[in-house]
């Protein structure tokens, strides 16, 4: 990423990662990502807000050199995860006079993860301000966007919120600002589903805390900067609202010899016939980020599996576990599937889905290939789903 001035004396100095395809060895990155870091020059002090993933440390150092930065007074660590903090030790070597500003929780995390000495930290409090000369840093504690220690920084003179993972997108793009609305929206929604969705209650609280700030720009630490922040603020309000589910069902499935697939097709058509929007995901060809994003709005999750060694197919068990860990807003869940001679699939999947706190509908499990009565049971399941959606969904 080239160095760019986003406002007077405020520069984007982070790095693009066009080629990265997996984050945390878990999250697919179809569009790469970026590690945004920002340099703010006051008349008296200079501050670096976050760093970059250690793989891109050279780029950050080059950008600071290009700006002739000979002194950094503070490095703000909004979040302990290494994609933002991992280059702090290198920057401290380069600028040994710099102090790391963060909260107590994050300082402990950084001492543990990066072995930064305790003496290098200046711990800040919630709503504390620090003057840089003509520019002020105001720290706001916003826990659980993404870890418990996360904070954001508000710059009142320029009305910019530096939000780290909060409002981020995994998107490598040449443009600094969010311009391609549909691309930006889908990348932000995907990021929300993968990182923020389990912490909706904290997100709602944090959004409330930001309401009193006059924000003209949101500068996150992945993806585009928003110079029209209403787009992303409104989206976060919608995605974190418990009552916001839509008339949508997500079906995750694997089929080995066609029985479960037949059941999924029949259920899908029966739901469509009743006006329910359906998204089936065959897990052997599914991008889990797309699945996570679909779960943001779904009112129902259906898990469909053949029996393998007496339990669910391992890929279905993995997806059910992942879906439950992401804690989407789904209100209803159902298990369908098939077996040859016996299975504890319903008990095992039911256990995995317990964390969803959704109403578990009557399962439909078939020995062998589905017969007419099984197809009728699937039709009845679709009727139950459609009826329940009427009382819950917004559209």
Q: How far is the CB of 82 from ligand FEO (least distance, A)?
A: 8
Choose, by CB under 6 A, the member of 165, 248, 261, 297 that binds ligand FEO: 165
Stretch that binds ligand FEO, among 79-87, 115-123, 257-265, 359-367 (CB under 6 A): 79-87
Under the criterion CB under 6 A, does residue 78 sit at the interface with ligand FEO? no
Q: How far is the CB of 164 from ligand FEO (least distance, A)?
A: 7
Choose, by CB under 6 A, the member of 17, 83, 149, 248 that binds ligand FEO: 83
Restricting to residues 91-150, name those near ligand FEO by CB under 6 A. Answer: 146
Nearer residue to ligand FEO within complex by CB, 63 or 84 = 84
Binding track, positions 300-329, relative to ligand FEO; x by CB under 6 A: ------------------------------
Under the criterion CB under 6 A, does residue 194 sit at the interface with ligand FEO? no
Stretch that binds ligand FEO, among 8-16, 81-89, 263-271, 308-316 (CB under 6 A): 81-89
What is the biggest distance separating any 2 CA atoms in the chain, rounded to whole angstroms? 78
Using CB atoms within 10 A of its CB, is residue 221 exposed (0-12), middle (13-18) or buried (19+)? buried
- For residue 378, the tally of other CB atoms under 10 A from its CB is 25
Nearer residue to ligand FEO within complex by CB, 106 or 301 = 106
Q: How far is the CB of 192 from ligand FEO (least distance, A)?
A: 13
Choose, by CB under 6 A, the member of 20, 189, 200, 222 that binds ligand FEO: 222
Choose, by CB under 6 A, the member of 20, 84, 189, 389 that binds ligand FEO: 84
Q: How far is the CB of 52 from ligand FEO (least distance, A)?
A: 10
Stretch that binds ligand FEO, among 80-88, 239-247, 277-285, 294-302 (CB under 6 A): 80-88
Residue 254 tokens, joined: 């694997």
Q: How far is the CB of 358 from ligand FEO (least distance, A)?
A: 27
Under the criterion CB under 6 A, does residue 190 sit at the interface with ligand FEO? no
Restricting to residues 363-392, name those near ligand FEO by CB under 6 A. Answer: none
Q: How far is the CB of 145 from ligand FEO (least distance, A)?
A: 9
Positions touching ligand FEO (CB under 6 A) are 79, 81, 83-84, 146, 165, 221-222
């Amino acid at each position: 990423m080239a160095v760019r001035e986003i406002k007077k004396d405020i520069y984007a100095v982070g790095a693009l990662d066009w080629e990265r395809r997996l984050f945390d060895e878990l999250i697919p990155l179809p569009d790469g990502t970026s590690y945004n870091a920002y340099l703010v020059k006051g008349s008296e002090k200079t501050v670096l807000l976050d760093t970059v993933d250690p793989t891109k440390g050279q780029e950050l150092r080059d950008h600071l050199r290009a700006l002739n930065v000979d002194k950094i007074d503070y490095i703000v660590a909004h979040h302990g995860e290494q994609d933002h903090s991992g280059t702090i030790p290198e920057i401290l070597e380069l600028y040994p006079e710099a102090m790391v500003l963060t909260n107590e929780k994050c300082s402990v995390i950084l001492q543990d993860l990066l072995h930064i000495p305790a003496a290098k930290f200046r711990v800040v409090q919630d709503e504390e301000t620090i003057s840089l000369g003509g520019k002020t840093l105001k720290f706001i504690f916003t826990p659980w966007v993404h870890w418990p220690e996360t904070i954001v920084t508000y710059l009142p003179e320029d009305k910019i919120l530096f939000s780290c993972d909060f409002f981020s997108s995994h998107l490598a793009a040449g443009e600094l600002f969010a311009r391609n609305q549909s691309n930006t929206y889908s990348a932000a929604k995907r990021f929300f589903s993968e990182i923020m969705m389990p912490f909706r209650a904290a997100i709602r609280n944090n959004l409330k805390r930001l309401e009193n700030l006059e924000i003209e720009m949101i500068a996150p630490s992945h993806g585009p900067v928003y110079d029209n922040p209403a787009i992303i603020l409104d989206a976060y309000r919608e995605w974190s609202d418990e009552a916001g589910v839509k008339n949508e069902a997500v079906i995750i499935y694997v089929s080995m010899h066609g029985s479960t697939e037949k059941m999924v097709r029949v259920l899908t058509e029966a739901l469509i016939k009743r006006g329910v929007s359906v998204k089936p995901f065959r897990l052997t060809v599914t991008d889990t980020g797309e699945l996570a994003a679909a779960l943001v709005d779904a009112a129902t999750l259906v898990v469909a599996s053949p029996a393998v060694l007496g339990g669910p197919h391992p890929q279905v068990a993995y997806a059910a576990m992942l879906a439950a860990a992401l804690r989407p807003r789904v209100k209803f869940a159902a298990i369908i599937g098939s077996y040859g001679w016996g299975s504890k699939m319903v008990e095992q999947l039911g256990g995995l889905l317990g964390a969803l706190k959704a109403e578990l509908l009557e399962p439909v499990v078939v020995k062998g290939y589905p017969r007419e009565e099984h197809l009728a049971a699937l039709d009845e399941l679709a009727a139950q789903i459609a009826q329940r959606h009427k009382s819950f969904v917004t559209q």
